[in-house]
Every structure is written in structure tokens, then in C-alpha cells.
Chain A
């Protein structure tokens, strides 16, 4: 058997490091290959996950695709909405770093899990959500607001899960903090953004690859129960972990985290139809970039890195949508137009009222 007859002989260039990576300009590297499904402009695309997912949300919302948001900012708030995390993701759940949080978000939304530690109060009249402690600056201003908002937020999450066509979920961490009482997975260690750390009540846990797979499988099964046609694209955040609780170097922990998440994606994707892995992690972190997709802090992804990821995402998943009419601009723009129209009327009527009532009053005084 000569070398031309080996199983490698007829493989495409993308199977070979030298041809697909080493000899390519960085911007030309495209590791995506065949995708199991494509997106149309009418598909409702939802996002969730760790902080890198925010880039995805921002791009999708501007791309003409149907970025599905069930908890949008109100036009009254204008630019203030962003400070309160409207639009960062499809609903106002903030960062979801782990597979456990995603699974528990589903369970909390459908009432099958009610964490024992469900609200944090700082003793100064401010209330914080243990599962989205940074969702608004300085928490909620009253207990009533907290529970009203929570109730409506979880309703928006249910609507999202039931109506989305595609969920893009970005896995970020394996390390996290759980309640010793009921296993509730907190977004951050209690005490970091809000709440108080108590070793009697809170414990560190580093998810194994098998646990991540189990969480994702359970989530997908539950999602399909309420939305049988839902498709899921998994990604791994290329942003390194910021700290580790394991007694080892953060670089070593980061390698474990990303490897476990990456392996878990392959462990899940092959077992369900309508699932895909999108290699944003590889695009940004692989050595062909010579580190140029990371900013000076060696964590933040540069705009060029994000552009590379999104260009390939649209190229492969959005190809079918090119040339399609976008049905969407509708939603947000229409809401804003309607609001501005009413606000203008309100302003005009108020001005007239002020003038008229002033004249009436002056006339009455003689």
C-alpha cells in the first residue's frame, strides 16, 4: 500500500494542519466545515451564556436576523436600558456561566425548582437576585419590585424557551458556587457582587465533563418537551477564566475548564438532532492568531476576533438568508416609533394645557 492509498489520501485540505492553518493568513482560517442546519431570517434566534455571548447578541441584533428577545428594553428608557441589561441577552437573565445554571434556569422558570436562598437583602433596603446579581446597578429598590420583576422575568424565560427556533448557548465556566442546602447554582460566589458568603451554606464545585454533559442533555430534553422543534448551537467562550478556587495555577484551571466544556459539547451534539457546535473558541484562541485576538489583559477578545467569529457564523449559518427579505425590523423599531409618537403627542398636549390653563387662571384673577 503506497502513501497515496492511506485513508488520509482523499481528505480535504481542512483536515491538514499545514494546509488549513499554518499556510493560511489568520483571517482566512475557517474551521467550520459542514453545518447541520442553516438559519433563515425568520428563525427566532435566542442567545444565552457567558460574557462572550454578549458579542453574539449584539451582532445578531444588528444583523437583520430575527434576534429573539422576550424581555426587551422599553423605548422610554432609551440608552439607560443597557445599564439595566436589557438586550444583553434574549431575556434579562444576565450571564449564565455554567450548564448547571442553564438547567436550573429552566427548572426555576417552570416551577420545578425553587431555591431555598432566593433573594438577598443588604439591610439597606436593596434586594438582589442570587441568580443574576448584576442585572441592575445596586439591585432592586423594594421587595415588591424584586418579586414582581422575578415573576415577569421567569414568564419571559418560559416564552423564550417555548417560542425560540434556535438557541445559541455559550458555555463559559465549570467552576461555580452551590447552595449546600439544595444545590442551587449561583451566578457568582455569594459576597462578590451581592449577598454574603457563608461556608456553612455555600460550597465550591468544579463540574466534571460528565456533569456538564448530563446538565446539557437534561436541559435539551426539557427544552424539547416544551418546544419540540428547538435547535441548539453550542459554543465555548474563548475568554479565559478570571480566577480559580482549585489549588493550582489559574492557567492550569483554565485549560481544564475549556477542555471539559469543549469535550462536553462533542459529547452532547452527536446525541441529538438539531444540534451543532460552533467553534468560536478555536477561532479566537488557536495559535494561528499568535494571540492577536486578545486585548492587553489577555482575556478580552478584540473587535477583530469577534468579527472573525461572526463573519464565519453568518457565512455558514446565515448563507441561506442572504438576499432574503428581513421580516424583522418590525419589532423594536415599531415599538420605538409608537412610543415616540405618543410621547410627542403628550408633550404637545401638555404644552397646550399649560398655556391654556395659565390663561384661564390669569383671566379668572382679573
Chain B
């Protein structure tokens, strides 16, 4: 299905459900996710971003792995033998009146954005590499086993099954729209990544030896792009608006600009503010179309 056709179907469904836009209504935007949502929350708390439109409210309801473990965003209900939302999120939706319909409600997911780092922040052993079809010009290491892009993507697909199930479990009644924000792209500086990683290893948090190599930036970029490909597809299949990182935060090759770096794999509050701006722009655009 083409994007415009899909969009038309979504609009029609909303029309049939009586979800016509009321410009006077408050627009509540609820955020939830694991560690990548924190830069948005920090930007919001530090007032680095304020909505341009009157009536927009941003609310951070669950953030971080401890509150909302990525492996438990959906859980198997023993009574119905179906996947259900993590009880913490379901409860938060209740408490915030997400289901009520008293405001125009948008949900913003930033779940499970770390697969690319799990798979390749460190040099896998034995190393592997692949050609990403969108950036075939990126170097491919000759000392690493070449894997088919489709096979790498299949592994991301496996990892994302839980995300797909989560999207299916999200409430739709009285919800104006759901957005999924892609995790930030890689930090190109290996030095920056090393610094954060070494800090963890040095303190022997894991009781493990140091010396594990961080993967080359091009490899991390390819993994991130493979993750994006899968997430974009899952979003399209579930009527979820997929939001890419803000262009202002990226360098010419698509890596995070230094101002957006935070630690080894996360983004700064400055980046978070740009994302909030993009989210507002996307929602505003959607509202004007519907």
C-alpha cells in the first residue's frame, strides 16, 4: 500500500470513529520508551523546548529500562494467552486519562531503539560486515565475514517482533495518532564512544577485562540503518507514523553532530529539543491533513 493510500485509510477510519479534530481541544502528547526517551524528557524539564502551538501538552509517562523494560513492553496474559501491554504502561494510560477522550491524544513511542548497539557497538567476534543497499558506498571490511543485508535485516526483524506486537496492543480508541521516534543515529567519534564504554569497564561494573574494540562508525551506521528499515516497515504495517531523527542534528553523512552526543549511544538534551520540535511539526502537519 502506498503511503498516501494508507494515510487516506487512516483518515477514513478516524472519521468513522468520530475522531474529527476539534481545534479548541487540548492536544496531549504522551511519551514512553526506554533510555532514548530521556533526552526528550531532559530537554522538556530544562525548558529547552516549548510547543509553538497553544494547547499542546507533552507528558512523559514512562522512561527508562527499569520502569519499562524493553523485554517486557508486552507480556503474555495467562488468562487470554495473548500479548498485553506492560502493566505499568497500561496503568499509566489509565492514570493520565489516555483512554478518556477528553483531550486530543497522541502517543509517542521510543521503545526498543537499542538493537543496533546490542548487535554491534562492540566489534562482534568473529567480526562481520554487510553492504547496506541505501549506502552501498560505505566501506566493507575485508577481514570481516560478509553477510547478506537481507539476513542481517532478518535478525532485526526477529528482534522487532516484540515491537510489532506492542504496536498492535496500543490503544486506538480516542487516540488521534501514534508516532514512533527512531533512536538517534551513531556517534561517529570512536574516541567519544570509547570514553563512555571504558568508564563502565574500568569501574569493573561487569567484572570483565577491558580492551573490547568498539566497531567502526560505518558498521554502526549500517546496523542503525537496518534497524530503521525494519522499524519503518513495522510502523507502516500498524498505522503508526514513523519519525526520523531531525536533520539539523546530523552531519553530512547522517551521524550525530557533536552537540547531540551523550555518552556512547545516547543523544543530548539539545537533540531532544530538536526531536520535540519535529514531533510537534509532524502532529501539526497530520492535524491539518485530517
Contacts and interface: CB of A to CB of B under 8 A. Distances in A.
Interface of A: 74-78, 80-81, 83-84, 125, 136-138, 140-145, 148-149, 152, 335, 338-339, 341-343, 345-358, 360-362, 364-366
B145 interface: yes
Interface stretch (B13-21, B149-157, B235-243, B282-290): B149-157
B122 interface: yes
Contact of A148 (B64, B131, B208): B131
B150 A351 contact: no
B126 A338 contact: yes
B148 A84 contact: yes
Interface of B: 34-35, 38-39, 41-42, 45-46, 63-66, 114, 117-126, 128, 130-131, 133, 136-137, 140, 145-152, 154-155, 158, 196-197, 199-201, 205-206, 208, 212, 262-266, 269
B147 A364 contact: no
B164 to A, nearest CB: 17
Contact of A361 (B151, B206, B262): B262
B151 A80 contact: yes
Contact of A357 (B120, B147, B266): B266
Contacts of A138: 150
A349 B146 contact: no
A357 B121 CA distance: 15
B42 A362 contact: yes
Contacts of A364: 42, 46, 269
A83 B150 CA distance: 10
B196 to A, nearest CB: 6
Ordered nearest first, which 10 A-B pairs have the shortest CB separation?
A357-B263, A354-B35, A144-B136, A145-B131, A342-B125, A365-B42, A142-B133, A141-B133, A365-B45, A141-B149
B186 to A, nearest CB: 13
Given A145-B136, A345-B212, 18 more contacts: A76-B119, A76-B152, A81-B151, A136-B151, A137-B150, A140-B148, A341-B125, A342-B125, A343-B119, A346-B117, A350-B114, A352-B200, A352-B206, A353-B196, A354-B35, A360-B262, A361-B42, A361-B266
A231 to B, nearest CB: 29
Most chain B beta carbons < 10 A, residue from A345, A354, A355: A354
A300 to B, nearest CB: 27
A148 B264 CA distance: 31
Most chain B beta carbons < 10 A, residue from A140, A357, A358, A365: A358
Given A81-B151, A354-B65, A356-B263, A338 B125 contact: yes
B146 to A, nearest CB: 5
17 contacts: A77-B154, A77-B155, A141-B149, A144-B136, A144-B140, A342-B125, A347-B118, A349-B121, A349-B200, A349-B201, A350-B118, A352-B205, A353-B266, A357-B266, A360-B262, A361-B42, A364-B42
